[in-house]
Amino acid sequence: MVDPGAVPAGERAFYVAEFAGATIVVAMREADLGGGEVDRVAASLAQGASRLVLVVGVEPDEATGAGPVGASPVDGGPVGDGTVDASPVDDRSVGDDAVDGGGPGDPSGPPADPGDQLWLTDDDLDPAGLASLWLAVAGASRVTVRTPEARRSVVAAHLAASLRALKLVITDDRGGWGRPPRSFADVRTHRDAYRAQLADRQGGQVVEAVEVALAGGVTSVNLCRADDLDSELFTFDGTGTLFTSGGYVALAPLRIDDLGAVEDLVAQGTADGVLRPRSRLEVARLAATGLGAKVVGSGHLAGVVGLETEAYRAEGVGEVAGLYTVSRFSGSGAGGILVEGLLERAAALGLRAVFAVTVSDPAAELFMRKGFAEVPPESLPAAKWQGYDPDRLRSVRAFWADLDTPRF
C-alpha cells in the first residue's frame, strides 16, 4: 500500500477534476474493505461530486442473510464516514412502487438497516431492476453492492456498463498486467498478449470483465491491488494497468481556459527534470502556440507541446517546446499525436524544418520514431543556446526533422 501522504496534492487535484461528476465502479473482496483505502478514495471523489459504487465479492458462507441470489433486496446502510450505501430500494415488486421509502435526502423514509445490502448477480440487470438501481445510485455518493465472489469482477463490469460509468476498477492480489505492471494498454492492440497473460486471474474473470466493460461503453478499466486503489486512481504514475479500447486521448488546440492546466503540467515536467524551468510568460507563449492531448470525454489535459518560431525566424525553422505528457498516459500515444500535430502545424506555416532538444531517453526514442534524426547540439541555431543552463547542456540530445521528408 502506498502511503496516502505520498500522493501529491496536485496530482490528486488533477484526478478529482478528471472524475468530477462521474460514476466510478470498484470491484473488490469483502476482506479488502478495511484499512481506510476505500474511505480515502470516497473522500477524494466526493470533492468532485463523483459517485463511488463498490461491488463487494462475498464467499457463499458470508452471504447468509443477504437474501437469495436474484431476489435483490436493495437497501442502504451507513458506510464508514456517514455517506449512504443507497436509497432504500426494494425491487420485490417492479414498477412505480419499486422505491420503498425516502432517498438520502428524504428524512421521512425508514432508517437504514446496516445489515441490509444491495445484492446482485449478473442475471439481475433486467430493465425493471436497472431502473431501481439507477435510483439507488443517483441518490447517493457511495453505494455498496454485494455479489458472489466467484463472479464479482464480471458483475461489476456489467453493472458499470449498465450505469454508463466512466470507469471500472478491478482489484486483484497480483496487481496490474506485467512485471512491472504496464501502465497503459489498448485492448485492440494488446488483445492476444493480455488474454494469454491474464487468463488465470480470478478464473478468467479479469479478462472477461475488462472486455465486457469496454464493449459496454465504459471509458477505461483499471487493474490494481486493493491496497493501491488510492494511488492507482489519484497519481500520474498509477500502480497498475489502465485498459482502454481505441483512442483515449485526442489532439486539440489549447484554449485560454487551458492555461492553468498547462502551467501545472509544465511545473510537473520541470519537477521531474524533463523540462527546463520557464517563466509564466514563457509558459503562456507555449500555450498560445501549442497543442494539447485531451482525454476523450472529459477534455482534461493529458499532455502539451508548443512550437517556438520567433527566435528562429531567419533560419525558417521551429522548435518542439515543452513537450510533456502525464506519465499515466505515456502508453496512450499522447506524445506521438502531439509531435505529429506539431509537425503538421509547422509545415502549414511554411517552415523548412523542426528541431527538438531533450534530456529524456523516452522522448528521444519518440522523436526518432517520428522521423527525427539525432544531430550534434552545436548544429542547431545559435539562438537556442543563448542563456542555456551549461549543466543541462552537457546532458541534452538534439534532433532534427526536415519537413519535406515523409515520417508517418
Indicate whether 292 pLDDT > 80. yes
Q: Is residue 260 domain-shared with residue 198, that is, in the same domain?
A: no
- State the amino acid at position 399 in one-letter form: F
Indicate whether 50 pLDDT > 50. yes
Out of 184, 218, 244, pick the residue that ends a domain: 244
* 408 domain-assigned: no
- Measured CA to CA, the distance from residue 37 to residue 226 in angstroms comes to 8
Q: What is the pLDDT of residues 110-144, one digit of tens each?
A: 333 333 457 887 667 777 777 878 888 888 899 99
Provide the domain limits for residue 105.
4-244
Predicted local confidence at residue 3, as pLDDT: 57
> In the structure grid, which three cell numbers stand for residue 44, read together?
477524494
Indicate whether 239 pLDDT > 80. yes
Indicate whether 269 pLDDT > 70. yes
Query: What residues form DSSP beta bridges with 249?
Result: 295
- Measured CA to CA, the distance from residue 73 to residue 94 in angstroms comes to 12
Indicate whether 249 pLDDT > 90. no
CATH code of residue 318: 3.40.630.30
Out of 188, 223, 244, pick the residue that ends a domain: 244
Between 55-59, 62-66, 96-100, 366-370, the lowest mean confidence (pLDDT) is in 96-100
* Band of pLDDT at residue 328, cut at 50, 70 and 90: low
As a whole number, the mean pLDDT across the chain is 81
Question: In Å, what is the CA distance from 312 to each residue of 125, 287, 341, 393?
Answer: 62, 18, 20, 19
* 407 domain-assigned: no
Of the two residues 110 and 207, the one the predictor is more confident about is: 207
Q: Is residue 82 domain-shared with residue 162, that is, in the same domain?
A: yes
State pTM to two decimals.
0.67
Q: Is residue 215 domain-shared with residue 292, that is, in the same domain?
A: no
* Band of pLDDT at residue 109, cut at 50, 70 and 90: very low
Q: Is residue 200 domain-shared with residue 261, that is, in the same domain?
A: no
Contacts 24+ apart (CB under 8 A), 373-377: 373/399, 373/400, 373/401, 374/398, 374/399, 375/399, 375/400
Predicted local confidence at residue 384, as pLDDT: 94
Out of 217, 244, 271, pick the residue that ends a domain: 244
Contact yes or no for 222/242 (Cβ under 8 A):
yes
Domain count, the chain: 2
Q: Is residue 297 domain-shared with residue 343, that is, in the same domain?
A: yes
* Band of pLDDT at residue 283, cut at 50, 70 and 90: very high
